[in-house]
């Protein structure tokens, strides 16, 4: 990266000292990760954001829904900054507040809402998290989806899981032992979600038709190909991958899990990793004694995670030095209250 920008980022961080806390998601570029005070998966970053009340400025190098969650979980005096407001998440955009309310009304009309518990993936807007909190539900991340679903089944008979159908299906089937036919898919673009009231009543899990545009591209064929190309390879994928990919893989887990699995693997072992490219490239560099290959060489970066680059970070930090708070992420009070209810239910789950 540009040495002038590196020097400017360093100088701005030094000038801010303890007043700024920089969080970096594992999918961020190397040039941004270099300035993160802490890196993590979505769950770890949510906890870390809540644990730094002394820093007035929290610069979130990740995507919009993560910065919203940080605003919800930080204390009143703290301000959360997203270095580029265009860093959204296509999956989070697949469930709007209006669409989710329509789905809930259909559950009500089917006489199924009272026994349904919503579980929203972290990758959702604050409005969806608030909806979940208002309706007795919880949030989950890829590292605690099992615990969240188990908790939800202790509260009701059926789960509305949104917006990632793959994480929902993979967790329900592979970790809770439910059948594929216990799950139905609600399509927000079809009248009544494309489901009859009796299908809603019979389902154990109502999955939202949403997916990650990066992980959705991995295929079972990629897994078969890499096994042929790299003998003895361990295939390690993120649970946002499609069900047939996850069942064909050897290990499945969040970004933090993937990093740990590579750290703990013996020297000389071979891994094919099915997740975002910035992380996979960093893992390959960090483990020269291991073979780390990308599960599908044609799958690319998460384009919105990549919006945060060094120029945006420098701009954000220098603005703070000058006393301006750029790109502040603020969730309105009522939404924040109910979203916090749901997030705190998640944070209270057994680890």
Q: Contact residues for ligand SF4 (CB under 6 A)?
A: 27, 63, 89-91, 123, 212-214, 276, 302, 304-305
Q: Which does 213 bind (CB under 5 to 8 A by kind): ligand 13P, ligand SF4, none?
A: ligand SF4
335 interacts with ligand 13P by CB under 6 A = no
71 interacts with ligand 13P by CB under 6 A = no
Q: Rounded distance, CA 207 to CA 286, Å?
A: 37
Burial class (CB in 10 A: 0-12, 13-18, 19+), 228: exposed
121 annotated ligand-binding residue: yes
- One character per residue 190-219, x = contact with ligand 13P (rule: CB under 6 A): ----------------------x-------
Select 13 or 29, whichever has its Cβ closest to ligand SF4.
29
254 interacts with ligand 13P by CB under 6 A = yes
123 interacts with ligand 13P by CB under 6 A = yes
Select 23 or 63, whichever has its Cβ closest to ligand SF4.
63
144 annotated ligand-binding residue: no
- Binding range to ligand 13P, per CB under 6 A, among 2-10, 37-45, 197-205, 243-251: 37-45
238 annotated ligand-binding residue: yes
Select 43 or 104, whichever has its Cβ closest to ligand 13P.
43
Residue 117: which of 205, 34, 199, 200 has the closest Cα? Answer: 205
Q: Which does 304 bind (CB under 5 to 8 A by kind): ligand SF4, ligand 13P, none?
A: ligand SF4
- One character per residue 126-165, x = contact with ligand 13P (rule: CB under 6 A): ---------------xxx----------------------
Select 13 or 242, whichever has its Cβ closest to ligand 13P.
242
Select 35 or 65, whichever has its Cβ closest to ligand SF4.
65
41 interacts with ligand 13P by CB under 6 A = yes
Choose, by CB under 6 A, the member of 148, 255, 306, 327 that binds ligand 13P: 255
Binding-site annotation, residues for [4Fe-4S] cluster: 89, 212, 302
Point out which residues bind ligand 13P (CB under 6 A): 26, 41-43, 89, 123, 141-143, 212, 240, 254-255
């Amino acid at each position: 990266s540009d040495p002038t920008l590196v020097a400017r980022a360093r100088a701005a961080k030094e000038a801010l000292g303890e007043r700024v806390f920089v969080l970096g998601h594992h999918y961020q570029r190397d040039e941004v990760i270099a300035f993160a005070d802490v890196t993590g998966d979505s769950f770890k970053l949510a906890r870390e954001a809540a644990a730094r009340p002394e820093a007035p400025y929290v610069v979130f190098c990740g995507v919009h829904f993560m910065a919203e969650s940080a605003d919800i979980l930080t204390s009143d005096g703290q301000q959360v900054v997203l270095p580029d407001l265009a860093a959204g998440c296509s999956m989070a955009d697949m469930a709007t507040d209006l669409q989710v309310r329509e789905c809930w009304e259909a559950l009500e009309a089917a006489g199924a809402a009272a026994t349904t518990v919503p579980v929203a993936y972290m990758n959702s807007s604050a409005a969806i998290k608030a909806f979940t909190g208002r309706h007795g539900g919880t949030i989950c991340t890829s590292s605690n989806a099992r615990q969240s679903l188990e908790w939800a089944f202790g509260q009701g008979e059926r789960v509305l899981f949104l917006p990632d159908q793959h994480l929902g299906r993979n967790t329900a089937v592979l970790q809770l032992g439910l059948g594929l036919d216990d799950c139905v898919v609600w399509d927000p673009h079809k009248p009544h979600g494309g489901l009859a009231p009796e299908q809603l009543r019979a389902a154990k899990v109502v999955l939202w038709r949403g997916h990650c545009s990066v992980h959705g591209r991995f295929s079972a064929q990629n897994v078969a190909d890499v096994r042929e190309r790299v003998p003895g390879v361990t295939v390690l994928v993120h649970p946002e991958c499609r069900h047939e990919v996850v069942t064909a893989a050897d290990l499945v887990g969040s970004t933090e899990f993937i990093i740990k699995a590579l750290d703990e693997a013996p020297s000389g072992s071979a891994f094919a990793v099915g997740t975002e490219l910035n992380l996979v490239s960093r893992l390959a560099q960090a483990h020269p004694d291991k073979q780390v290959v990308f599960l599908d060489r044609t799958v690319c970066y998460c384009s919105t995670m990549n919006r945060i680059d060094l120029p945006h970070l420098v701009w954000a930090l220098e603005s703070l030095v000058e006393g301006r708070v750029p790109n502040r992420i603020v969730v309105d009070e009522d939404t924040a209250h109910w979203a916090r209810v749901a997030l705190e239910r998640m944070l209270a789950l057994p680890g």
